[in-house]
Amino acid sequence: MSLAKHPHWREKHFHAFLLERSDIPFAWGTNDCALFAADAIQACTGIDIAADFRGKYTTQLGALRTISKLTGGSSIVDAATYCAEKHNLTEHTHPLMAKRGDLVVIDNAGTLIAGVVHLNGREVISVSENGLVRLPIADLNGQPNVVRAWSI
């Protein structure tokens, strides 16, 4: 099942959200990859899929402890899966099936991070120390960089 999106979510809500957040750097507990993805989804749907995580941590160690406490796991995959399952999001059978605005976990040079599929449909957008970053959904050989994806 998908979350109901606002009318004109692509042109209005998602685009405005990306412009607003373009230069805001990564910050644990306020603008890390998980909360950025959840904020993007909230901009498009009005639903905060990460409400259980908000205000619970301000450091990487705190994030890992919160993930462990809420999910029993230890990674961003566990956090994303928890949020997706709580909101009955359907996981794509293949990560390359992810569409614009979908929640994803992507391998970024050996580090798994959360993000959402960009409006162009070919990249994942997430947050870095310098603001937003675009990451290719697949490598030059067509192999997916996205490891998990859920329909929004």
Q: What letter would DSSP give residue 148?
A: E
Range(s) of the domain holding residue 68:
9-150
Q: What is the pLDDT of residues 95-133, one digit of tens each?
A: 999 999 999 999 999 999 999 999 999 999 999 999 999
pLDDT band at 1 (very low <50, low <70, confident <90, very high): low
Residue 49 resides in a domain? yes
Phi, psi of 62 (to 5 degrees): -65, -40
SS3 call for 123: strand
Percent of the chain with pLDDT over 90: 86
pLDDT band at 6 (very low <50, low <70, confident <90, very high): confident
Q: What letter would DSSP give residue 96?
A: G
CATH number reported for the structural domain that contains residue 17 in this entry: 3.90.1720
Question: What's the total number of domains in the chain?
Answer: 1
C-alpha to C-alpha distance for 146 and 129, rounded to whole angstroms: 21
Residue 58 resides in a domain? yes
Give the residue-averaged pLDDT of 135-149: 92
On the question of pLDDT at 71 being above 80, the answer is: yes
Residue 2 resides in a domain? no
